Amino acid sequence: MSLLEINNVTKKFSGLIAVNDVSMTVETGQIVGVIGPNGAGKTTLFNCIAGALPPSSGSIVFDGKEIARKKPYEICQLGVTRTFQVVKPFASKTVLYNTMVGAFAQTSHLHEAEEKAIEILKFLDLDHKKHVISKSLTLPERKKLELARALATKPKLLLLDEVMAGLRPGEVTEMLPTIRKINETGVTIVIVEHIMQAIMNLSEKIYVISFGKKIAEGDPQDVVADEEVIKAYLGDEYVATQH
C-alpha cells in the first residue's frame, strides 16, 4: 500500500476548476516532485492534501486513512506536516521557541520539547541562531526554520511548498543536500517547486500539472522529454521548431 494516494481530486472555486481530476501515489521513503507553470494548481492541490482547503471531490488516503476534508491540525497529528511558500514564522519569538511549538506535538513536557527542538536545530545547522528572534532572520534561514518547525512534529510525510522559491542559486545548492538529508532519516517528501533544476535533482518521481490537469508523470528524465510538458512550459512553437 502506498503512503499517500490521491484519487481523482478536483477543486473548484465557483466557476474555476483549479485542480481537475488529479491522481497521484507516493511510496514510503520517496521524494516526489510536483511541478507546473504558474497558476497550474500545484499549491491548491497541496492545500487540499494539507487540509487548508477541502477538495470538491475525490479522495486522499494517507497511511490507510481518508484525510480529505479533515482539518489541518488533525492531518498533522496523523503525521503529515507542511511548510508554507510564504514563510509564516511566529515572528516575535525566537528560533528555539518556534521549533519547540512544533516539538510539542510529540510531548507535553517543556524540557523534552526543548531537547527535541535543539536536536532538530543542530541537524539543520541552525542551532547557533536558536536565541535569535525569528523576524530578524535572513530568508534562507527563515526557510530553514520553516523546515525545522515542521520536522519537530516528527512527520511521516513532509509537504514542502516551494521551499526554495526566492532563494539565490547559491542558496538553492545549499538547500538541496538539506532536503536529501531529511529524506535519509526516513521522512517521505512531497515537494512542490518552480525551480526545475532543483526538483530534477531531488525527485525520484515527478508529476507535472498544467491548467489543473496532470499532464505527465514518471522519472525526471522521461518527464522533461515529454512533448506535453515542453509545450506547457515553453509553448507550442518550441515543440514545433524542435522537430
Residue 133 DSSP symbol = B
Min CB(126)–another protein separation in Å: 17
Our CB check for another protein shows the closer of 55 and 102 to be 102
Min CB(65)–another protein separation in Å: 15
Selected binder of another protein within 17, 61, 101, 224 (CB under 8 A): 101
Selected binder of another protein within 14, 38, 108, 241 (CB under 8 A): 108
Strand boundaries in the chain, DSSP class E: 4-13, 16-26, 31-35, 57-62, 65-66, 80-82, 157-161, 188-192, 205-210, 213-218
Q: What letter represents residue 123's amino acid?
A: F
Separation between Cα atoms, residue 204 and residue 53, nearest integer Å = 27
Q: Does residue 121 touch another protein according to CB under 8 A?
A: no
Q: Give me the residues paired with residue 6 across strands.
A: 24, 60
Our CB check for another protein shows the closer of 142 and 205 to be 142
Selected binder of another protein within 21, 23, 28, 52 (CB under 8 A): 52
The set of cell numbers assigned to 67 is 484525510
Q: Does residue 149 touch another protein according to CB under 8 A?
A: yes
Q: Does residue 93 touch another protein according to CB under 8 A?
A: yes
Q: Does residue 188 touch another protein according to CB under 8 A?
A: no
Q: Does residue 139 touch another protein according to CB under 8 A?
A: no
Q: Does residue 189 touch another protein according to CB under 8 A?
A: no
DSSP 3-state helix, strand, coil percentages of the chain (rounded to 5)? 40, 25, 35
Name the strand (E) or helix (H) holding 142: helix 139-152
Asked whether the beta carbons of 58 and 127 are under 8 A apart, the reply is no
Separation between Cα atoms, residue 201 and residue 196, nearest integer Å = 8
Asked whether the beta carbons of 46 and 26 are under 8 A apart, the reply is no
Min CB(22)–another protein separation in Å: 21
Selected binder of another protein within 58, 72, 140, 166 (CB under 8 A): 72
205 alpha carbon, distance to own chain's centre:
14
- Pick the stretch among 21-29, 103-111, 199-207, 215-223 that binds another protein (CB under 8 A): 103-111
Q: Does residue 130 touch another protein according to CB under 8 A?
A: no
Q: Which residues bind another protein (CB under 8 A)?
A: 50, 52, 71-73, 76-77, 81-82, 84, 88-93, 97, 100-102, 104-105, 108, 110, 113, 149-150, 153
